[in-house]
Amino acid sequence: MKISIINGPNLNLLGQREPGIYGNQTFDAFFEELQGKFPQVTFDYFQSNIEGELIDQLQQVGFTSDGIILNAAAYTHTSVGIGDAIKAIDTPVIEVHISNTFAREDFRHTSYITPNAKGLILGFGMDSYRLAVQSFL
Ligand code: DQA
């Protein structure tokens, strides 16, 4: 099974960015742990702060991967283009968020991803990604 993880803007700063909300772990350290937990899965990982690059990556892996785990970060709440890209590809997408976006500011309660995603997992910290992998398995 091949699973692609795509992270959006500012998630390159995990570990140092607002640790009270997002925790102390870097994504690289978490990704290593995740790969260790699921040796039967082939993972690839992509992060960008640029909306168009996230769309390019969805198109790139969206016809060959078995599953995509997408944390579009702030673009979740603004990007018609990322929502359309999910509709345009074959691979099912699970939307994840580290924080519980519904317990935060009102603008985080809107998602252009959710209507097009297979499912949504949020609020479990980095474990949201692990639960998404588990759901694909
Ligand atoms: C986030 C939630 C978003 O609202 C925010 O813009 C992020 C991270 C999360 O994982 O909790 O950058 O997607």
What is the reported pLDDT for 103?
98
Q: Where are the beta strands (DSSP E) in the chain?
A: 2-7, 42-47, 67-71, 93-97, 119-122
> What number is the average pLDDT over the span 124-131?
98
Write down the pLDDT at residue 81.
98
Nearest protein Cα to ligand 1, atom 1: 73
- Ligand 1 contact, 101 CB (< 6 A): yes
User: What domains, with CATH codes, occur in the chain?
Assistant: 2-136 (3.40.50.9100)
Q: Tell me the mean pLDDT in the region 98-105.
A: 98
pLDDT in tens, 52-63: 999 999 999 999
18-47 tens-digit pLDDT: 999 999 999 999 999 999 999 999 999 999
The ligand 1 atom at the shortest distance from the C-alpha of residue 100 is 11
Is 97 known to be catalytic?
yes
Known catalytic membership, residue 109: no
